[in-house]
């Protein structure tokens, strides 16, 4: 099972690993406050997409399982970044006067889900208004945010299913980093409660309510070195820049009302519900950020100086919050299952996979 996960994840993200590392690292060049705003604006499509994916693929039918009946499924979701989230205006995210566009006419930057073209050049200024450095905002990486899931569902009691899902901790590569997820869900056939035991005979469809919770961890290495020729502002600055990485934790919840009808081996379904995702993302480690120019007489006079900040970036906010609708089907071919669905939420998304069960 672990090898299946690895293959799925590499097929989605492995081709973008090196670029992703460079992109995220390149944003952390200014003060902690400005770097936080830049990373938030650039990375938001990734955060939203992971939330949409976490809330996808929980079920493809309203029908619950009989006691101790089960199925196991392996699926993958892909969230499509909206056009509105493919760029951001660097002058509208609240940057301080320490970070300004080099060209006032070049202010639109790609996000993580945007075009693979380098963004505008931003200049860094010190407290005295002197230019001390510059950097380009990074290229976009990928416009479809993917995530695999594996889950097991079992019937427990009173027309109720319980589902457990997750991704074991997988170190995909030194560039991509590692990902893990765990979640649990519950589905209950409310038609039985409304009509009684004869619901299957009286009502031509199944109706259920379902809830699901997921916790996803994402760790991605970063490499932020001092600018060429830059020296520590003073001897109090750390020069150990090992173990820099981005650490993200995403908590997602979805509640759904599901209607479906089994037609021999084919079961179409429709669901409406509400989903939310809260993200906590931190840049862990020591980071040398250019803050001034050396005024000390000697060989380094006039060179850039840096200040070392520890864990300079923390983003904690709700990145997904709203209604979602899903439509799809399940194919039951004896022991095997095939699943597919389309979702409309903050991002459009698709989910598909295979499974087996009784």
Residue range 113-140, pLDDT digits in tens:
999 999 999 999 988 888 888 889 999 9
Contacts of 157 (CB under 8 A, 6+ apart): 67
* pLDDT 10s digits, 156-186: 988 999 999 998 887 755 545 688 999 999 9
Average pLDDT for residues 147-164, to the nearest whole number? 93
pLDDT value at position 293? 76
CB 353, CB 53: distance < 8 Å: no
Model confidence pLDDT, tens digit, residues 212-268: 999 999 998 888 898 888 889 888 899 999 989 999 999 999 999 999 999 999 999
Domain range for 187: 2-357
At residue 182, φ and ψ (nearest 5 deg) are: -145, 145
Strand partners, 71: 153, 357
Comparison of pLDDT for 10 and 153, the residue scoring more: 153
Percent of the chain with pLDDT strictly greater than 70: 87
pLDDT at 302: 64
Residue 18's pLDDT band (cuts 50, 70, 90) = very low
Model-level pTM?
0.88
The strand pair at 231-232 and 304-310 is best described as parallel
- Per the model's pLDDT, the better-predicted residue between 260 and 303 turns out to be 260
**Residues in CB range of 81: below 8 A, 6 or more apart:** 45, 48, 49, 111, 112, 113, 114, 143, 144, 145, 347
Compute the distance between CA of residue 41 and CA of residue 87 in angstroms, rounded to an integer: 9
- How many structural domains compose the chain? 1
CB atoms within 10 A of CB 323: 11
Structure-token pair, residue 160: 């109720």
pLDDT tens readout for residues 35-90: 999 999 999 999 999 999 999 999 999 999 999 999 999 999 999 999 999 999 99
């Amino acid at each position: 099972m672990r090898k299946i996960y690895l293959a799925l994840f590499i097929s989605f993200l492995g081709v973008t690993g090196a670029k992703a590392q460079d992109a995220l690292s390149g944003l952390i060049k200014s003060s902690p406050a400005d770097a936080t705003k830049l990373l938030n604006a650039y990375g938001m499509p990734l955060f939203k997409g992971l939330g949409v994916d976490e809330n996808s693929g929980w079920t493809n039918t309203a029908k619950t399982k009989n006691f101790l009946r089960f199925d196991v499924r392996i699926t993958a979701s892909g969230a499509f970044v909206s056009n509105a989230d493919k760029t951001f205006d660097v002058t509208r995210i609240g940057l301080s006067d320490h970070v300004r566009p080099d060209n006032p006419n070049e202010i639109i930057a790609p996000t993580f889900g945007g075009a693979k073209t380098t963004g505008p050049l931003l200049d860094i200024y010190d407290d005295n208004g002197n230019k001390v450095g510059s950097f380009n905002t990074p290229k976009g990486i990928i416009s479809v945010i993917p995530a695999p899931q594996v889950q097991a569902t079992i019937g427990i009691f009173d027309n109720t299913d319980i589902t457990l899902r997750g991704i074991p901790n997988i170190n995909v590569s030194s560039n991509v980093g590692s990902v893990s997820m765990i979640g649990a869900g519950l589905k209950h056939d409310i038609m039985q409660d409304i009509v009684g035991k004869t619901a299957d005979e009286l009502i031509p469809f199944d109706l259920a309510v379902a809830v699901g919770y997921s916790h996803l961890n994402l760790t991605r290495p970063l490499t932020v070195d001092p600018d060429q020729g830059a020296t520590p502002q003073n001897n109090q600055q750390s020069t150990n820049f090992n173990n820099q990485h981005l650490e993200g934790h995403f908590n997602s919840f979805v509640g759904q009302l599901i209607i479906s009808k089994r037609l021999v081996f084919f079961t179409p379904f429709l669901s409406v519900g509400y989903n939310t995702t809260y993200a906590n993302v931190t840049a862990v480690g020591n980071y040398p950020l250019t803050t001034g120019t050396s005024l000390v007489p000697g060989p380094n006079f006039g060179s850039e100086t840096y200040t070392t900040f520890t864990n300079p970036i923390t983003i904690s906010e709700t990145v997904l919050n709203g209604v979602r609708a899903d439509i799809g089907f399940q194919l039951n071919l004896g022991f095997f299952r095939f699943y597919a669905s389309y979702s409309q939420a903050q991002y459009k998304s698709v989910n598909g996979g295979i499974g087996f069960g009784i």
